[in-house]
Amino acid sequence: MPRTRHVAALCCLLISVSASHWIHASLASAAEIDRSPLQVVASADGNWVYTANRTANSVSKIDVGAGKVVAEFAAGEGPTGVAISPDGGTVYVANRVADTLSVIDTATGNTRQNVPLANQPYDVLVTADGTICVACVGKDEVVQLIDPQSLAVTKSIVVDRNPRHLALTGDGKRLLVTCDDYDTTRWLNVVDLAAGNVTRRVPLEMTSTLRGVAEVRPGVALVAHLKPNPFAPLTQVQQGWVNTNAISFVYFDSEPPQHVTLLLDEFTRYYANPYDVALSPNGKFAYLACGGADQVLVVDLDQALALIERTPVEQRGQLRAKLSLSPAFVVGRIPVGANPYGLAMSADGQRVFVANHLGNSVSVVDSATKSVSATIDVGGPAELTQLRRGEILFHSAAICFQGQFTCASCHPDGHTTGLSWDLEDDGLGNPKNIRSFLGVKGTGPFRWQGEAPTIGADECGPTVSGAMRGPTLSESDLAALTAFVTELPLMPNPYRGPQGEISAAAERGKLIFEEDERCTQCHTPGRFSNGERRDVGLGRGRPEDLKLPNGDTIRATEFDVPHLFGVWDSAPYLHDGRAKTLLEIFQKHNPTDNHAETSDLSEAQLLDLVEYLKTL
C-alpha cells in the first residue's frame, strides 16, 4: 500500500476513534491506540488475514507471507465481527456500537457503504453465494440476511435471546446460531436459510457464555461454552464444581435433539472461557480459543465422538461432571497471546490464525507441530495503561484458584450472565443475581444490600481473594482492576432516538414514574438511586442483620436501591432474579405496594411505565 494511502487511512481512523464509546482514553496518535482484535478472517488463497479491531474502530489487513500489517482501514464504531466475500474483494465488518455493517474494498480500503442494521450486530459470515448473515445481540435479537449486490436487508429472522456466533452447515443450507440467553438454559437455533425461519430450538441446560459453533459431522454441532453450577455454593470452588469450561456435541437432527457435554479442564488446571471454534479442512480437529487461559486447545473429534459413542446413552449426561476425560480427546494445548478470542483456519489447513484480543496481536499456529510459528503485532501502545492492565486482569483466570474462571466468566463484556450465585459472605442459601458493571460509575454503594461502600477495596478485591479463591491483589493491580470496572460504559440505548427522544408510551410512563414521587422518592433522577436501602417486601437477603464497620446496620430485609441505567438489558430482575421481565416486578412481586404503589395502575399504564424504564 502506498505510504500516502496508509497515512490517509490512519487519519480517518483517528477521526473514527475519537467518538468511540469503547476507547479507554483520548489518544494522540494511531500508534497509541489499543487495537483489541476480536475476530479474524482469512482469504481463500491464504495470503491475507483481516482483524476487527474493537477499540480502534478499524480493520487491519495482514500480509501473511510478510508477517505484518500492511494497511489499516476505518470501520464503524465498536467492530466485533469480520467476514470476507468469496472473491476476496470485500470485507464485511459488524459494528456493534454503530448498529451498522461496514462494506470495505480490500484493495483500496474504501468503505463502499455502511449498512444500517438491527441493534448491536455482533458476528457476521458469508455464504457460498455471497449472502451476508449477521447476528444482532441487542433488543431486536435477530439474524439478518443481506443481499451482496444491493446491500439491502432481505430478511430479519427472530431467534432466541442474545444471539452470538454463527456457522453454516456443511451443505450451506442452514445456519447454526448460539443464543446466550440470560438463564440456566441457553439455546442453539437452526435456521433454514431458504425459508428464512428457525426450524430447531435445541435447549442446552446448565450452560453459559455460549460462543463458537461449528458443524463437525452431518447433523452434529460443537458448541463452546462454560458449564456453571449456580446451585452450588462458592465454597465448592476448590472441588471444581462451580464454573467449568466445556464443549457440547449437539445432535440437532436427532429426534428429539440431544447434546452431550465434555469438560476441557483437568483436575488441577482449567482452561477458562472457551470462545471461538475453527475446524481443520479434513474435519479431524477442532481448535478452541480459551480466552481466560491464553491458550488454544486442539480437540481430536474422532476421539471425542468415540468417547461419547462407547458411553451408554443413559450415562452420557454424567460426562459433563468428569474432570478426568479431557486427556482422551484434547491433543494440544498451545500458549498464545493475551485473551485469544477469534480463530480462522487457512484453506489448506496448515495454519490457524488467532486474534489475541487483549494482546494486540495475531498468533499463527502451525497445525502440524501444534505450536506458534509467528506472532504478528497489530498495533498498540508501547506501555500498558492502567485501564488496559485492569482489562487484562478482568479477563484472566490467573487470579482465580487453578485458573478455573475469570471476572468475565460471570460478567461477559462487563455485563452479566443473568445467573444467581450463592456467595458465602452473606450466608449460604441466599443466592444473588449477577449485576452488570456497565455504567456503574458513581452509583455506589455496591452489592445487592449495599454492603460494599466502594467497588474496588470492598467489591473487586474481596471477590478475587474470596469467591474466586485467588490471591490478594497488589495495590497497583487492585487500582487497575477498579479503574477498568469503573469506566465500563453503557451501550447506546436503542429505546431512544438519535437526539435522545423517547416514544409517546415512554412519555406517558415518565409521568407515572414521577407523579407523587411514586418512583422518584427512591430512584431519584440523575443516577436514579438515592444510595440508600429499602425494605420492598422481598423477604430476607441474608440470615440476619449486618453491622457495618462505620456503625450502620443493614437489616436482613433491606436492599440497595439500584440505579436504573441500562435496565432494559439487565434481566432477570430483583436481587435473586425472580422477575424475568420488568413487568413481572409489578405484576407478580409487588403484592403489597412496598415496591412503589402500582396496584392502582392498569395493565396499559404498567406497560407505559416499563417503556419509560427501558429508556433509562
Region for residue 209 given its phi and psi (left: phi exceeds 0; alpha: psi -120 to 50; beta: otherwise): left
* pTM for this entry: 0.94
**Residue 56 scores a pLDDT above 50:** yes
pLDDT in tens, 211-220: 999 999 999 9
**Residue 26 scores a pLDDT above 50:** no
C-alpha cell at 478: 487492585
Which residue did the predictor score with more confidence, 175 or 466? 175
Which residue did the predictor score with more confidence, 19 or 177? 177
Beta-carbon count within 10 A of 401 CB: 18
| Residues whose CB falls within 8 Å of the CB of residue 562, separated by 6 or more in sequence, listed in order | 435, 443, 448, 529
Q: Phi first, then psi: what are they for 119, rounded to 5°?
A: -65, 130
387, with CB counted inside 10 A (0-12, 13-18, 19+), is middle
Dmax (CA) for the chain in angstroms is 71
Residues 21 and 99 sit within 8 Å (Cβ to Cβ)? no
With bands split at pLDDT 50, 70 and 90, how would you rate the model's confidence at 29? low
How far is CA 335 from each of CA 288, 331, 402, 587, rounded to the nearest angstrom?
A: 12, 14, 16, 51
| Residues whose CB falls within 8 Å of the CB of residue 584, separated by 6 or more in sequence, listed in order | 573
Residues 69 and 51 sit within 8 Å (Cβ to Cβ)? no
How far is CA 225 from each of CA 5, 188, 405, 458, rounded to the nearest angstrom?
A: 41, 12, 12, 30
**Residue 363 scores a pLDDT above 70:** yes
Residues 34 and 360 sit within 8 Å (Cβ to Cβ)? yes
Sign of the alpha-carbon dihedral angle for 17, 21, 22, 28: positive
**What is the pLDDT averaged over residues 435-452?**
94
**pLDDT given at position 337:** 98
**pLDDT given at position 15:** 34
**Residue 23 scores a pLDDT above 70:** no
For 560, half-sphere exposure in the C-beta direction (CA atoms, 13 angstrom radius) is 19
Q: Quote the percentage of the chain above a pLDDT of 70.
A: 95
What is 479-519 written as a DSSP string? HHHHHHHHTPPPPPPTTS-TTS---HHHHHHHHHHHGGGTT
Distance CA 570, CA 614 (A): 10
pLDDT in tens, 128-185: 999 999 999 999 999 999 999 999 999 999 999 999 999 999 999 999 999 999 999 9
Distance CA 216, CA 576 (A): 38
Distance CA 363, CA 351 (A): 10
Which residue did the predictor score with more confidence, 460 or 16? 460
Sign of the alpha-carbon dihedral angle for 293, 298, 303, 305: positive
Give the highest mean pLDDT range of 3-17, 30-44, 505-519.
505-519
DSSP type of residue 378: -
pLDDT in tens, 68-97: 999 999 999 999 999 999 999 999 999 999
Region for residue 545 given its phi and psi (left: phi exceeds 0; alpha: psi -120 to 50; beta: otherwise): beta
Beta-carbon count within 10 A of 382 CB: 6
Q: Cell 451408554 maps to which residue?
A: 312
**Residue 188 scores a pLDDT above 90:** yes
What is the average pLDDT value for the chain, to the nearest integer?
A: 93
Sign of the alpha-carbon dihedral angle for 338, 111, 277, 54: positive
How far is CA 413 from each of CA 38, 395, 437, 478, rounded to the nearest angstrom?
A: 12, 9, 9, 19
C-alpha cell at 543: 440470615
**Residue 112 scores a pLDDT above 90:** yes
Distance CA 510, CA 615 (A): 10
**What is the pLDDT averaged over residues 344-373?**
98
C-alpha cell at 537: 417486601
Residues 606 and 599 sit within 8 Å (Cβ to Cβ)? no
pLDDT in tens, 542-558: 999 999 888 889 999 99
**pLDDT given at position 441:** 95
Helices 603-613 & 504-514, crossing angle to 10 degrees?
A: 100
Helices 475-486 & 386-394, crossing angle to 10 degrees?
A: 90
Q: Give strand pairing partners of 42.
A: 49
Q: Give strand pairing partners of 506.
A: none
With bands split at pLDDT 50, 70 and 90, how would you rate the model's confidence at 2? very low
**What is the pLDDT averaged over residues 192-216?**
97
For 366, half-sphere exposure in the C-beta direction (CA atoms, 13 angstrom radius) is 6
Give the domains, in start order, of the chain with CATH numbers. Answer: 504-616 (1.10.760.10)
**What is the pLDDT averaged over residues 247-252?**
98
